[in-house]
Homo-oligomer: A and B are copies of this chain.
Amino acid sequence: MPFRFGHMLGIEPLSAEEILFLLDQSKPFQEIQRHPLKKLATLRGKTVALAFFEPSTRTRISFATAAARLGADQMNLQAESSSLKKGESLLDTVRTLDAMKPDCIVMRHSSSGAPDFVARNLPLPVINAGDGTHEHPTQGLLDAFTIREKRGRIEGLRVAIVGDIAHSRVARSNIWALTKLGAEVTVAGPPTMMPAQVERFGVTVAKSVDEALEGADVVNVLRIQLERQRATLYSSLREYSRVYGVDAERLRRAKPDVTVMHPGPMNRGVEIAQDVADGVHSVILEQVTNGVAVRMAVLYLLAGREASAEPGGETPTPGAKRSHVESTVSPRR
């Protein structure tokens, strides 16, 4: 089943089959990461525009590395130096980038919905690299990919997501991906960080982190955004750590072979204890490696197509694509 969409705006609109297709597509790119030479010529002659209207290190470097390993050139726009300072609208900024003929735009923005807005107005494939508190779909995919690699499947797994659910686009993309693929997702966190009617996402709300961890196959610990919430949403870091932090003792309630995840950057000793972050159950660094693979797959699917998508449209990719990726996934020497 090929990928129907001309954009990657979120996990919510995808079907389970489409998510699985993306995970399958990512697999050969994951294998590339282990090769001594990781460079493909797949997107040679293509250009990936990286438009980060919000600061980012790891996601920006991950997409840039993915683009480079596919052989693509890059256009780099970072908010600090952008024309936005000169009063230009978001749409004019991205239209200007588009007029330089990149083959897709990877976009991060502090406003939820900004990538959708751009996708509706431009003929260019748009990849959401995180928008406000809405979605961070490649994070959702890389987390699902990592879980499947580690546990062999996603269906039927018990996954606990712990922390600031309300403000986390990572949580939202994870919830969509995992519930669609048949996992039982339980969330836990401070009441002030829990979205109203969170059950409508198809998750169970636990009364405590302990309850969420009970029998869990996977625990995904969210980052507390210290820079945003200090002193408002919870009384103190120590208090947060005591009540919501995932430490070795608390982790004993989970399955003995529980998989521990964190999207990074970590606040060690706050939401996650040192020994858990570095423990045998942690796949936190594998998530980072898999992130490059998943982003290579998404860039390949969206920037590699021959004709651009129609504005707002959904351009089916020919089935032939898939065999193409498999045949090109060998390092170029």
Chain A interface (Cβ < 8 Å from any Cβ of B): 33, 35-39, 44-47, 55-58, 60-62, 64-65, 68-69, 73-78, 80-83, 85-89, 92-93, 95-101, 225-227, 264-268, 285-286, 288-289, 291-292, 306, 331-333
A60 closest partner in B (C-beta): B81
A227 and B86 contacting across the interface, CB-CB below 8 Å: yes
A289 and B101 contacting across the interface, CB-CB below 8 Å: yes
B87 and A267 contacting across the interface, CB-CB below 8 Å: yes
Q: A45-B332, A61-B75, A101-B289 are in contact. List 4 more A-B contacts (CB 8 A).
A: A35-B45, A39-B73, A96-B265, A100-B291
B55 and A44 contacting across the interface, CB-CB below 8 Å: no
Q: A81-B78, A100-B65 are in contact. Are A268 and B46 (CB under 8 A)?
A: no
A223 closest partner in B (C-beta): B86
- Report the separation of the CA atoms of residues A83 and B58 in the bound assembly, to the nearest whole angstrom: 8
List chain B residues, Cβ under 8 A from A35.
45
- Report the separation of the CA atoms of residues A65 and B98 in the bound assembly, to the nearest whole angstrom: 12
Nearest 8 interchain pairs by C-beta: A37-B45, A88-B265, A99-B288, A39-B45, A83-B265, A68-B73, A99-B285, A57-B83
> Quick one: which of B57, B73, B88 contacts A65, CB cutoff 8 A?
B73
Q: A37-B44, A38-B47, A289-B99 are in contact. Are A264 and B61 (CB under 8 A)?
A: no
- Report the separation of the CA atoms of residues A99 and B68 in the bound assembly, to the nearest whole angstrom: 16
B226 and A268 contacting across the interface, CB-CB below 8 Å: no
List chain B residues, Cβ under 8 A from A331.
45
A74 closest partner in B (C-beta): B68
